[in-house]
Structure formats: C-alpha cells, structure tokens
Amino acid sequence: GQGKAPGHGTQLAPAIPVSAHELPRDRDRFNVVTRTYRADSGRMSILLKETQVASADSGNDMEFAGQGIAAGGPGETGPSSGKSTWNLRIRERHVAGQVSGILNEIPEDLQDATGLQSAFAVDPDQPEYEVLGKLGAGNMGIVYSARQTSLNRELAIKTLKPDTPSVDHDQAMFVSEAVVTAHLVHPNIVPVHDLGRTADGKLFYSMKHVTGTEWSASMSQLTQEQNLEILLKVCDAVAFAHSRGVINRDLKPENVLVGEYGEVVVLDWGLAMTTDNFARRDSIALDFRGGAGTPVYMPPELAEETVDNVGIQTDVYLLGAILYEVLEGFPPHLLKETWAMDDPNAQLARIVDAVVRNEIEEDVYNDGELMQIARRALQTHPMDRYQSVAEFQDAIREYQLTGRAEELMQRVEEHPSDNYERYQSAVALYDEALRKWPDNRRAVDGDRRAREAYARLALKKGDVDLGLQILPESRHREFKAVRSQLKRAKRSRAIMRGTWSLATISAVAGAIVALLLYFQADHAKQLAEAEQDKAESAQKATSKALEDLESANGSLAVLRKEEKKLKDEKNQLNILASMAKNDLREAEKARDAAEEKEADALSSLTKVLGELRTARMNTEDARKETAEAEEGKADAEEKKVEAE
C-alpha cells in the first residue's frame, strides 16, 4: 500500500499497529539508514558526479588549488579543477610537537620575573598535542581526546579516516568544515581552536572537548519539556549559522551533545553548505554536492543531484524531523514497515524511496499541536514550511504557553467537573501567554473562553463574588451576559438577606413582648399561690386553736378563772379566722385573675406567631415579584443590546 497522500504532497505510510517502545533497540539494525552519507555512489541510490580539488605541497605549508590555479602550484594558470578560490594556508603542526603562539622574544630577566623560564625550557621536539584516546568515529572522521601541551589543557582532535574514497575532495571538505565551524562562534556550537596537518600530511583540527551525552542516547529518558528546551537551543545555533550564511544539512540528535551541566552543543558541521553571506568563502570548498545527509531525517531536496533547492528551509525540515522523533521516539522516514527488515540494502532502498517521495510514518501516538508543528516543518515543498528557524521556534514557544492551555480546556470541556483547579490552571496559562505576547489572538480567545467557563461554574455553585472577580470589565458580549447573570444573582441574594432580616427582627420583637407578658402573668400567679399558702396556713392555725379551745372547755372547771380571758381570745381568734377567710377569697380571686392574664398572654403569642407566618408569606411573594421584575428588566436590556 502507498498510504494516502494529503494535499500538501507529503506521503503518509500505511498504519502498522506497533509503537515506539517496540522499536528494536539494536542500533546496528538501523546503522545503514541513520548514518550520514556524503554523496557516496555506492550507498545512495541518487548518484552524483564527483569533482576534485587538487592539492600541492609547498614546503611545510599546504595550499588547496582553486579556480584559476593549476594543479602545479600557485600563480600558474590552467583548467579549473574545482569551484573554490582558496585563501588559506595550513601550517604543519608536527604532532610530534612544538611550543607555539609566542611571536616576540621575551628578555631573560623578564622570563625569570614572570616564572616563564620553565615554559621555555620545553624540549622543542615535544608534541603540541598528545593523543590520549579515541572518543568516537563517524562516517568520514575520527575524534580523539588529546592534551595540548602548550596550555596543558584537554581538547578534542578530529582527523579524516584513512583511505577515504575521494581523498582530495574529502580533504577540501574537511578543511571547509573546520573553517566554517571556527567562524560560528556561538554558545551552542562547538568552538574550533586550531587547524593543521601532521608531518606526514594528515589533516586535523582541534576543538573544545565537551563532556556529556549524545542527545540520541538520552532523549528517551528526558521529559517532553526537557527535549523541547534542548531543541530550542539547537534552533538557536542553527538560526545563528543561517545569519552567518551557513546551512547545516545534517541536523540530528546524534550530532548534538548535552553536557553534564545542561549545555547543548551542535557538533558536526561536515556537510555544511555556505551562501554568499558567509564571510570566508575564499577559504572553503564551494563544490557542494547533492545526495548527502542522513536518510531517516532528510528532506526530498537533499536527495537531488544538485543543491539548487537547498536553503534554510532544509534545516527547518531537519529540525521538524527531530521534533517528530521527540514526540514519537523514531525519525519520520523510519517507516514501521522497515523495522522488521533484515536486509540493510532493502531497508536503505525503502527509506531512500520514502525520502524522495517525502513519505512519513502516519501511525503516530501524539497527534496534537506539536505534531502539527512538526508536520508543517516536514512539508514536501520548502515554501510550504516555516520560512525561518525563528518561525519554527515561535510556534513551539506559542505551544508551550497557549497550546497547553488549549489542551487543558479541551479536556475540561470533554470531561466537565465541579472542581475549580483546571479552570484556574487554564486561566493562569493564558495570562502568562498574554503577558509575553499581548497580541496573541489565540490566547485572547482562549482566555475569554476559559474565564467564561470558570465564571459559569462559579455561578452554578453560588460563588457569585468569585465569578465577578474572574470576569474583568470586557468588551466581549459573552462576558456581559455572564456578568449580568452574576449581578442579578447577587442582587437577588441581597434582597433575600434584607427581607429575612426584617422578618427576623419583627418575629424576635413579638416573641420578646409575648415572653414579657408570659413572665408577668407567671409572676402574678406565683404571688397568688404564695398568698393562698399563707391563708391555708392561717386556716390550719385556726383549726388547731379551735381544737385547743375544745380541749380547754373540758378543763373549764379548773380554768374558770381564765374563762373570760379565753373568751376574749376566742373572739379574737374568730376575728382572725374571718380575716383569713377573706384573705383566702382574695387569693382565689388573684389566682383567677392571674390565670386570665396567662390565657391572654398565650392568646397574644398565638396572634404574633400568626402574624409572623403572614409576614413570611408576604416576603416570599415580594421576592418572587422582585425576581420576575429583574428578569423582565434583564430581558429588556438584552433585547435593547441586540436591537442596538
């Protein structure tokens, strides 16, 4: 199957149900398609004619012949063997050594005073560079760790592999790589210090030895955010190179080193192509060839015989391919159908075919905004891609701010929740995006949508003040509608609170009056009961006195002398009894009056409670009428706004 072909011309490979974690981890299995090719006709299906850059040995220096200079030596005329005009002399570095770099003679007394005596006491045959060990090898070169004896520091030295297929051309491109890299002074590009040749004529250049890990080895262990930050730093290096007239043509994670302190360095500029803006075009080879690059990352124009279509958008494509790998775990042309291929040649042929037709693996796990950014960078035609690295970076940075907020809002809308947290996060992300880019239309629209949803949730939960706080005064009609609803809810709540307060005060006052009447009646009742107790006590005393009198009558014979006195006491007792009876009758009357007052108080309390119920009913009716009036007023206002 060929897969479907979108309108932009990019071919999409048919879906195969395997994912990146099933990708074989044997690096040798993909060695053929992940290495850099330099127009090697034996390996690439796109064949190119080789051109030669002649060389001439002149004493201890080496010159590369260029346009208008014959192979015999400088100053002679003859047929051109290349497309370059060289203005470069490469000194013999005699890797068996010399102390170099001091141009004028220093007096002996000054040497003693400054402690330089020991530095000048070095054996003149001591090597300038002492090789410590092999660091790695690429398709064309070998990199060694070395110590520079003149400064006693560790560097890296790169040399050409022996027996390269096209010695002159490869030497010219090697020198060009050194010159180009040396003139790209940037924190994310490896610094080149020296270019020379050994006594036997072997070219080398020295550069900073950056300790760290190839990005290709650490990418899967890093978070997406960490990988994006590394990619943005690589973009910084590439954008700087473009500003200096250099196009890399071979960007891939394998050529990026992540240092132990987080530094990001683009290492390999061996396929770099220069434009007229490069300041040292007189010192490099200009016979740039097509058909060069790393197949699984290459855009279609790198597979062409010429470099006519190669430009800054070529590097944009390669950066998009790296972003694709960050998202999926494998490069875009490493089609899933090739994963199980055992024949390297068949695998390479299929990948090269995918490059030529710009066929990209369609079956992806991540299909969000970042993948859309990658796909735009991976367009078939250069003019359909981002037109600069800066545009590509801006798209990623916009995603880092706006895209995450939009994805969060999408999840909220797909799975609604009464939790404020997601809405708060989305609003915060949009705020940050607008702070950094106030004219970001997507952020403006997304912020409005997030705030409106947040406010409606607050209205639903009754948090009116929170909802009003979320929605600032705005020109958006949606905000006005929500704010109107929130304000109406706030007014209704205020009316309810006021009505309930008045009713509560009236009820409390009535209850206090009723309680006072009740307490007064109860007090009168208690007084009447006390008087009744006194009357009963008096009556009991009278009864006892009468009993005593009767007993006394039995002793009349003995007490005759006291008879008159007793009669008087009897009369007095009769008077007291009469008074007690009168008091009893009064107490009974007082008790009856107190009971009547108590009944009146209870009747008053019942009447107050009835009035309270009536007041509540009137309040509810008033609230309903007020709400209906407010709704009518709001509807009228909305109709008026719509009419306007």
Provide the 10 A C-beta neighbour count for residue 5.
Answer: 14
**DSSP at 45:** S
Last residue of a domain, which of 425, 440, 472? 472
Is 508 or 301 the better-scoring residue by pLDDT?
A: 301
Residue the block writes with tokens 């409106």: 452
5 inside domain: no
Confidence tier at 71 by pLDDT (50, 70, 90) = very low
- 438 and 545 co-located in one domain: no
Query: How many domains does the chain fold into?
Result: 4
Provide the 10 A C-beta neighbour count for residue 63.
Answer: 18
Q: Which helix (H) or strand (E) holds 143?
A: strand 141-148
**DSSP at 403:** I
Domain that holds residue 452: 396-472
pLDDT in tens, 588-603: 888 888 888 888 878 8
- 427 and 563 co-located in one domain: no
Answer whether 156's CB lies under 8 Å from 208's CB: yes
pLDDT at site 131: 87
- 219 and 139 co-located in one domain: no
- 192 and 220 co-located in one domain: no
> Which range has the top average pLDDT, 141-155, 199-213, 314-328?
314-328
> Which range has the top average pLDDT, 257-261, 378-382, 538-542, 608-612?
378-382
Cα torsion at 38, 42, 48, 49 (round to 10°)? 110
- 75 and 33 co-located in one domain: no
Q: How far apart are CA 392 and CA 396, in angstroms?
A: 7
Our CA angle for 189, 195, 198, nearest 5°, is 140
109 inside domain: no
| Average pLDDT score over residue span 165-191 | 86
- 534 and 621 co-located in one domain: yes
pLDDT at site 233: 97
pLDDT in tens, 119-172: 444 455 667 888 888 888 876 788 998 888 888 899 999 988 876 666 777 888
Residues whose CB falls within 8 Å of the CB of residue 420, separated by 6 or more in sequence, listed in order: 454, 457, 458
CATH of the domain at 254: 1.10.510.10
- 173 and 248 co-located in one domain: no
Residue the block writes with tokens 């003859």: 78
Confidence tier at 2 by pLDDT (50, 70, 90) = very low
- 243 and 259 co-located in one domain: yes
Does the pLDDT value for residue 27 go beyond 70? no
Cα torsion at 185, 189, 195, 198 (round to 10°)? 160
pLDDT at site 206: 93
- 604 and 631 co-located in one domain: yes
- 330 and 273 co-located in one domain: yes
Answer whether 72's CB lies under 8 Å from 83's CB: no
Evaluate if pTM is beyond 0.75.
no
Query: Residue 308 corresponds to which tokens in the numbers above?
Result: 């006519």
- 40 and 62 co-located in one domain: no
Query: Residue 6 corresponds to which tokens in the numbers above?
Result: 């979108």
